[in-house]
Structures are given as C-alpha cells and as structure tokens.
C-alpha cells in the first residue's frame, strides 16, 4: 500500500511524533510506502509531496511544529463542497495520480470535518486528532494539550512571585479557541484564584468579590486565569477587558499577560510524545485492516477509533460538573459566578 500523511490547521507539539508513529509503523511493520504531503490539504491540490523513509522519520520525535508544514483548510473545504455538488474532482484525480491508498489527516476540528468530506467523496481517509485546545469530539484527550498545560502552568507559577511582591492582580490569558480546557487545567495546576471559562460565563461582581475577599483575608494579590474564548463587551481581548474591570472595580493594581503562541511552540512533553506515537501506530493499523473513514481516539484510556462522520462538526466543551471545577469550588476558587 502507499499512504500519504498531511498535517492541517494550527500546529501543535506532537505532530512530528505522530508522523513518525504512522510512518515507521507503515514502513517497518507493514512494508508500506509513505509520502508526506506538504502544507495541509493544499499539498494535494499542488501535488507537493516528499518520500518519507526511515531516515527522514528519524530525529523528529521531540521536535515541535510539523516537518510537513501546515495551513488552514477553509478555501480547500469550499472547493470540496463544490466537488460534492458534482464538479470535476481535481482532488480525487490528484489522489489517484499520486497512487495513494489512503491519506492520514492530522489536525483539529476543521481538519476532521474536511477529512470526513474527503471520505464521503470516496477517498480512503484516517483522521488523527491534534490540538492544544483538547476540544475534539470523540476523544478523551488530544496530543498538544499536555504540553500546552505544562507551558501555561509554568507561566502561572512564575507570575505568582511577581504578583505577591507587588501586591497586584495578575490576569493571564491562555489559548483554547471556544473551549476552556487549557484555562481549567493550567489554572488549577497553577493555583489560580479565579478561573474564567467560555462555557460557564461570569459576572464582574463575582470576580471582584473574590479578589476583595482575598484582600480582606490578608492576601493582597490574586491570579486570574482567563480563556481566550471568553465573551466580553465589544469582543474586547479577555485579558485586557477583565484586567481593567478588576482594577476599576477593586482599586487593586492589575497587570495582564497573554501567553499566545508560546503555548503551542516547542517540544512536546513525554506524555504527548507517547500519545502521538500510540495514535499514529493505530492509524496505520486501521489502514492495514482497510478500516477507513475513521478518526483514531482515546476511549476509556486506551487507543480506539470512531467514524469521522460522528466527529465532524462537533465540539467537546467543558461542562460545569467537571470534577476539577467541583473540587476547585470546594477550595474557594472562583469560576466567575
């Protein structure tokens, strides 16, 4: 068999470990031929590919980013939608000209949606979920998330000492798109006093009450973790909006830090390397067994798979009954209400 691998959407730590897991299993265990498709789905359109062999797959396990390059898939999905309505299929044609038996699509929600569309026009597709946001439906965890939690937690740890020295409120904005997973996990691990998630909503009265209450109990500084997807008036940047509203409402000096792309750059954590390796290996196993149209996933802690059509277009969000939220509340951490 000849398989293609592509990475699409925002990069994250662990993509290269996945490419290695898929590729090495394919070459060494199943004797398949493997090509890398450049820059996401656009590489199929432009037929930009490279042969992947044992050599090119070596030394990339701990490497951040993606050796294949990536791109956002919106324009490709538009083209695909027109193909679905009967236009001549350039994508299918290129897939056949490249001699592919399957394409492994490593990506987030958008990618899994596109992967499902490709599967529905008759291509053999396997999806591998990746994102620091951990918001992909159908899998308990995505690689990239653990690394991002580590990075954000370390940043919050560092903000504690400067916040306490200056008796300030530090507002830290973490990524996560529409989901609050990163804010919840890094906030709890970093000992935040207030954690604001897009899923739960908040009032400034409740946030400021927590900060003033701490001040009255002899703790003149606070750490507030906010998710980037938090809704704010006039769509203001959450850290900027919340920071100003705290300073205005409490009179306590407040500073903001936006962690941004540092959260998805650099080397994957050991946990993410192993998760990516397991998911990659399972993707190849599915191909060998001709079980296409699926996304590999983690279910009940083990590697499994789920039909792409069940995943496409859905989001996995934090719910208020999450045990970390319940436990946080029992310890006096405010979730904004």
Q: Catalytic site residues?
A: 133
Query: Do 102 and 1 touch, CB atoms closer than 8 A?
Result: yes
Please pick, from the candidates 44, 105, 132, 159, the single residue that binds ligand F6P as defined by CB under 6 A: 132
Name the minimum Å distance from CB 177 to ligand F6P: 4
Q: Decide: is 264 part of the binding site for ligand F6P (CB under 6 A).
A: yes
Pairing status of strand 222-227 against strand 169-174:
parallel
Please pick, from the candidates 23, 127, 129, 176, the single residue that binds ligand F6P as defined by CB under 6 A: 176
Query: Do 195 and 207 touch, CB atoms closer than 8 A?
Result: no
Q: Decide: is 177 part of the binding site for ligand F6P (CB under 6 A).
A: yes
Q: Is the dihedral of CA 337, 188, 147, 134 positive or negative?
A: negative
If the CB atoms of residues 38 and 264 are measured against ligand F6P, the closer one turns out to be 264
> Where in the chain does DSSP place strands (E)?
2-7, 33-37, 49-52, 102-107, 125-129, 169-174, 194-196, 222-227, 254-258, 294-299, 302-307
Q: Decide: is 273 part of the binding site for ligand F6P (CB under 6 A).
A: no
If the CB atoms of residues 170 and 175 are measured against ligand F6P, the closer one turns out to be 175
Query: Do 296 and 21 touch, CB atoms closer than 8 A?
Result: no
Name the minimum Å distance from CB 132 to ligand F6P: 5
Name the minimum Å distance from CB 11 to ligand F6P: 8
Looking at residues 216 to 245 of the shown chain, list those that interact with ligand F6P (rule: CB under 6 A).
Answer: 228
- Of the candidates 193, 203, 133, the residue with the CA atom closest to the CA atom of residue 329: 193
C-alpha distances out from residue 53 to 1, 8, 25, 138, Å:
14, 21, 11, 31
The torsion angles phi and psi of 57, rounded to 5 degrees, stand at -95, 0
User: How many residues does this entry show for the chain?
Assistant: 337
Number of other CB atoms surrounding residue 44 within 10 Å: 26
Looking at residues 12 to 41 of the shown chain, list those that interact with ligand F6P (rule: CB under 6 A).
Answer: none
- Of the candidates 74, 84, 69, the residue with the CA atom closest to the CA atom of residue 117: 84
Q: Which stretch binds ligand F6P (CB under 6 A): 33-41, 128-136, 156-164, 301-309?
A: 128-136
Looking at residues 59 to 78 of the shown chain, list those that interact with ligand F6P (rule: CB under 6 A).
Answer: none
Name the minimum Å distance from CB 100 to ligand F6P: 27
Q: Which stretch binds ligand F6P (CB under 6 A): 121-129, 171-179, 186-194, 301-309?
A: 171-179
Q: Considering all CA atoms of the chain, what is the largest pairwise distance in Å, rounded to the nearest integer? A: 71
Q: Which stretch binds ligand F6P (CB under 6 A): 30-38, 129-137, 204-212, 297-305?
A: 129-137
Name the minimum Å distance from CB 87 to ligand F6P: 28
315 forms beta bridges with 136
Looking at residues 303 to 332 of the shown chain, list those that interact with ligand F6P (rule: CB under 6 A).
Answer: none
Number of other CB atoms surrounding residue 308 within 10 Å: 25
If the CB atoms of residues 7 and 284 are measured against ligand F6P, the closer one turns out to be 7
Please pick, from the candidates 5, 6, 10, 223, the single residue that binds ligand F6P as defined by CB under 6 A: 10
Name the minimum Å distance from CB 134 to ligand F6P: 10
Q: Decide: is 113 part of the binding site for ligand F6P (CB under 6 A).
A: no
Name the minimum Å distance from CB 254 to ligand F6P: 24
Total of residues contacting ligand F6P (CB under 6 A): 10
Question: Would you give the binding string for ligand F6P spanning residues 183-222, x where CB under 6 A is met?
Answer: ----------------------------------------
Label each residue of 166-212 as H, E or C: HCCEEEEEECCCCCCHHHHHHHHHCCCCEEECCCCCCCHHHHHHHHH
Exposure of 236 by Cβ count < 10 A (0-12 exposed, 13-18 middle, 19+ buried)? middle
Which residue ranges make up the site for ligand F6P (CB under 6 A)? 10, 108, 131-133, 175-177, 228, 264
């Amino acid at each position: 068999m000849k398989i293609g691998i592509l990475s699409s959407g925002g990069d994250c730590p662990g993509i290269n470990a996945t490419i290695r897991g898929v590729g090495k299993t394919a070459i060494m265990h199943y004797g398949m031929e493997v090509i890398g498709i450049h820059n996401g789905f656009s590489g199929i359109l432009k037929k930009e590919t490279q042969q992947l062999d044992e050599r090119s797959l070596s030394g990339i396990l701990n490497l951040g980013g993606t050796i294949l390059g990536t791109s956002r898939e919106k324009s490709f999905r538009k083209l695909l939608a027109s193909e679905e309505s009967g236009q001549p299929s350039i994508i299918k044609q290129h897939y056949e000209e490249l001699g592919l038996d399957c394409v492994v699509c490593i990506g987030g929600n958008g990618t899994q949606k596109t992967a499902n569309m490709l599967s529905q026009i008759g291509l053999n597709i396997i999806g591998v979920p990746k994102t620091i946001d951990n918001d992909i439906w159908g899998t308990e965890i995505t690689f990239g998330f653990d690394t991002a939690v580590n990075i954000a937690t370390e940043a919050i740890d560092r903000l504690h000492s400067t916040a306490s020295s200056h008796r300030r409120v530090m507002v830290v904005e973490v990524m996560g798109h529409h989901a609050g997973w990163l804010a919840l996990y890094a906030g709890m691990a970093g000992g935040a006093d207030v954690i604001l998630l897009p899923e739960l909503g908040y009032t400034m009265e409740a946030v400021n009450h927590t900060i003033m209450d701490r001040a009255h109990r002899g703790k003149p500084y606070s750490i507030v973790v906010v998710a980037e997807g938090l809704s704010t008036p006039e769509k203001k940047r959450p850290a900027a909006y919340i920071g100003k509203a705290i300073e205005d409402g409490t009179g306590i000096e407040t500073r903001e830090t936006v962690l941004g792309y540092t959260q998805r750059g650099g080397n994957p954590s050991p946990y993410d390397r192993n998760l990516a390796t397991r998911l990659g290996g399972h993707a190849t196993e599915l191909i060998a067994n001709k079980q296409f149209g699926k996304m590999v996933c983690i279910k009940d802690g083990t590697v499994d798979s789920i039909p792409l059509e069940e995943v496409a277009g859905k989001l996995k969000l934090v719910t208020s009954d999450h045990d970390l939220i319940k436990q946080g509340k029992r310890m006096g951490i405010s979730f904004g209400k």
